[in-house]
Amino acid sequence: MEFIIISLIKAALVAFVLLTLAAYLVWIERKVLAHIQLRIGPYRVGPHGLLQPLSDLIKLVTKEGVIPSQVNKFYYLLAPFLAVALALISISVVPFGAQIELFGYKTYLELANVNIGILVILAVSAMSVYGVALGGWASNNKYSLLGGLRSSAQMISYELPMSLALVSPLLIANTLSLREIAEMQSGFYLGFIPKWFIFNAQAPQIFAFVIFMIAAFAETNRIPFDLPEAENELVAGFHTEYSSTCFAAFFTAEYVNMVTISALATHLYLGGWNPALPEPVASVVPILLFAGAGLLLFFHGMQTLATRTWDKYTFPVFGVVAFGLAGVFSLKYLTFLPAPLLAIGGALHPVFWFAAKVGAILFLYIWVRGTLPRFRFDQLMRFTWTFLFPVAIVQLLATGLIVALGN
């Protein structure tokens, strides 16, 4: 009974955090792109535009859902559901922290602790292209159909180098469990260099990481490889005929897939939830970060020359939130507190480092979108088959040879 209750609580928390993160990734992306292009970005809906995702959600859910005539209605409606369902399934096997003990019950910070987590993610992500291809075909629109076909062709191209890049760290780890892979990367070389696979002393995986990230942009239909959408060629690509909730479902799936791919890259190459700095510095970093953010927010809120009136009220509120987070991360040092609070304080530090690494990769997604143009479709195919695939094979062979000689 305890297992069922804990599992339901974890499922509800993960679903809430993931869907909220997917919504606010849109806000973050619009803000970052605005700064890159010297614009303001979302600003009017809520303080600093923070309620813009809620406004967009209400608009998409309440507007009329138009289903064009002559579409295959069953598959037309199945496609967005399939895209979201497969995106949410993938995240269920991704661990985001170490094992914790609450009220005498030990549990892992993940929904399903399976020892073949990578195979599950690869299998589900390979099927996710069906949502895009099915939506393009069922829409009875030549632009949508071309977008769906492009997605299928893309998958054939990028899946091979991505899989080869994934195998390299697996050769070093000799396991398919994401949790065991993360645990193997704990510790430091020379006391300060993390034992992440990207810095592995035996066979550094820097090239595998770069290959994986390039393929990940195609996996998630992101610029410079968002060819199934390519609005300058295909109107809007595979989702041209979609509106309302179905349209929102496709983009929710895209941003959830971004989070999943970022989490997978974090586990395979960047040490999972293991900190980038040795203790006790690693435990102090989140406390100093949030406390510094709180001080900065209070400082800006107290400026008499502030050009935006609401800043004098919103900045202090966010400052209090930042100080509260700093206090939560300090719980592990308050030994007089009850054991459950100490356990929560200790469990949050690995989650912080895991979230920081995932956030850095998500920022890379946004940064690339703001700086690189879209590839032509033939350029993607040529680049993948004539360069990326051979490099991935060479990298895998080199890693295998080094591991074999080392053993």
pLDDT at 1: 65
SS3 for 130-162 is HHHHHHHHHCCCHHHHHHHHHHHHHHHHHHHHH
| Nearest partner of 133 among 163, 155, 111, judged by Cα | 155
pLDDT at 343: 67
pLDDT at 233: 61
As a whole number of angstroms, the distance between CA 22 and CA 84 comes to 12
- 54 occurs within a structural domain: no
SS3 for 249-272 is HHHHHHHHHHHHHHHHHHHHHCCC
Residue 281: how many other CB atoms lie within 10 Å: 12
As a whole number of angstroms, the distance between CA 349 and CA 329 comes to 7
- 290 occurs within a structural domain: no
Domain that includes residue 341, residue range:
68-101+112-274+330-406
- 387 occurs within a structural domain: yes
| pTM as predicted | 0.90
Per-10-residue mean pLDDT of the chain, 407 residues long, equals: 75 84 90 89 84 88 82 86 86 82 72 83 82 83 80 79 90 89 89 90 90 88 75 70 84 88 92 88 90 89 67 85 89 69 75 92 92 82 89 92 85
Give the H or E element holding residue 18. helix 2-36
Cβ contact 392:58 at 8 Å: no
- 49 occurs within a structural domain: no
As a whole number of angstroms, the distance between CA 115 and CA 118 comes to 8
Cβ contact 19:252 at 8 Å: yes
Q: In the chain, helix, strand, coil percent, each to 5? A: 70, 0, 30
| Nearest partner of 395 among 250, 149, 224, 197, judged by Cα | 197
pLDDT at 105: 72
- 13 occurs within a structural domain: no
As a whole number of angstroms, the distance between CA 246 and CA 128 comes to 16
Using alpha carbons, list the distances in angstroms from residue 338 to 24, 283, 301, 324: 34, 20, 36, 19
- 139 occurs within a structural domain: yes
Name the phi and psi angles at 250, rounded to 5.
-60, -40
- 284 occurs within a structural domain: no
Query: How many structural domains compose the chain?
Result: 1
- 345 occurs within a structural domain: yes
Token reading at 193: 């260099």
Rounded to 5°, angle at Cα 316 from 38 and 21: 60
